[in-house]
Amino acid sequence: MHSFETTIGRLRSEGFKLTPQRLSVIRYLIGNKTHPTAAVIYGDLKKKYPSLSFSTVYNTLNMLEKISEVQSLHLFDDFLNYDPDISSHYHFVCRSCDSIIDIFPREGENVSLPEGDISGNRIESAQVVFKGMCKSCL
Amino acid sequence: MHSFETTIGRLRSEGFKLTPQRLSVIRYLIGNKTHPTAAVIYGDLKKKYPSLSFSTVYNTLNMLEKISEVQSLHLFDDFLNYDPDISSHYHFVCRSCDSIIDIFPREGENVSLPEGDISGNRIESAQVVFKGMCKSCL
DNA sequence: ACGGTATCGAGAATTATTATTGACTTGATA
DNA sequence: TATCAAGTCAATAATAATTCTCGATACCGT
């Protein structure tokens, strides 16, 4: 996500109302380096905002995804993870402990993917998911 | 998937029983160049085998995935697609018509991904999904 | 402060996939 | 070919993440 001010500004200009519930979700995500599920966000925020509902969490996440402030990740079978880091990076999932680790291209020796068109199809984005065993589990 | 004979042989040696229902799913998948969902497979086979059940389709697909004869793909929100092509390749999904197009590395100008370890994490496989607009929709 | 409108929370609905269960097949053995 | 134990079948119920519904409420421009 962008900074709090920038994100708020974008939402305002898109016509979204900035309710306390939405702001709490946004504050939760900004600077968050994990990849929380809707359930985790709800669980954590519920402590501080007991009246928060699941619908509002999902509603806010979908709204943020629509304006590309978060990205949803299909890493597991039964639920989505949300990534507040919108910089270009990939993900590594450990098949043993299920941890999710960010992979930034510069760390890899040779990560390059096609851009532009392939066989006439226009590529606009790429999602890369590595699976294997993480450092701790090895 | 491998050839019919090879696949059958693998299942037999793994101790799976080769029932007509399973064979029908396997025959449906072999040589299939699309990425059918369980529902599509069930719908198509139901015509010829009216007694086939959804459970059997899922059961067979999970079995085939376990022995790496098919790969499940999380391309959309609500369901899985199954890919009988187990050669190394990536996928392109059109955001307009939802079509799925196979991308083989040799077609792209510069597809290379890290292998082995990254920051101490052992990569065993990589899934790449491109999104954009397909040729027909452009 | 007022009123129209968007959003809230609570719970019901949706739906792909998985689990359960009793009857039936399969395939190995003789 | 007949028998039998174990695995599999089909039907249906269960599961669970996400979305939808709707009356009540809060926000914002005037």
State mean pLDDT over A19-41.
94
The shortest CB-CB distance from A121 to any of B101, B127, B128 is to B101
Specify the CATH class of B4-83 in words: mainly alpha
Residue A97 has pLDDT above 90, yes or no: yes
Contact A122, A133 (CB under 8 A): no
Strand D within 7 A of A76 CB: no
Among A9-23, A63-77, A79-93, which stretch is predicted with the lowest mean pLDDT? A9-23
Distance B26 CA to C9 C1' (A): 48
Nucleotide at minimal C1' distance from the A58 CA? D18
Sorted by where each begins, the domain ranges of chain B are 4-83, 90-132
Residue A81 has pLDDT above 90, yes or no: yes
User: What per-residue confidence (pLDDT) applies to B110?
Assistant: 56
Residue A12 has pLDDT above 90, yes or no: no
Residue A127: Cβ within 10 Å count: 19
Q: What is the pLDDT along chain B (138 residues), one digit of tens a residue?
A: 999 999 999 998 888 989 999 999 999 999 899 999 999 999 999 998 998 999 999 999 999 999 999 999 999 999 999 999 999 899 999 999 999 999 987 655 556 677 778 889 999 999 999 999 999 998
Which protein residue's Cα is closest to nucleotide C6 at C1'? A17
Inter-CA distances, A53 with A43, A57, A60, A85, B134, Å: 10, 7, 11, 24, 39
Higher pLDDT, A112 or A61: A61
User: What per-residue confidence (pLDDT) applies to A112?
Assistant: 65
User: What per-residue confidence (pLDDT) applies to B116?
Assistant: 75
User: What per-residue confidence (pLDDT) applies to B134?
Assistant: 95
Residue A122 has pLDDT above 60, yes or no: yes
Report chain B residues whose CB lies below 8 A from the CB of A114: 103, 108-111, 130
Which protein residue's Cα is closest to nucleotide D20 at C1'? A55
Specify the CATH class of A4-70 in words: mainly alpha
- Per-residue pLDDT of A43-75, as tens digits, reads 999 998 888 999 999 999 999 999 999 999 999
CA angle B93, B96, B100 (to 5 degrees): 25
Give percent above pLDDT 70 in chain A.
95
Enumerate residues 6+ apart whose C-beta is below 8 A from A76: A93, A98
User: What per-residue confidence (pLDDT) applies to B112?
Assistant: 65
Distance A40 CA to C10 C1' (A): 19
Distance A20 CA to D24 C1' (A): 17
Inter-CA distances, B135 with B85, B96, B138, Å: 22, 11, 5
Residue A80 has pLDDT above 90, yes or no: yes
Residues with CB under 7 A from strand C: A 16-17, 19, 21-22, 49, 51-56, 59-60, 77; B 12, 17-20, 37-39, 54-55, 58, 62, 78-80
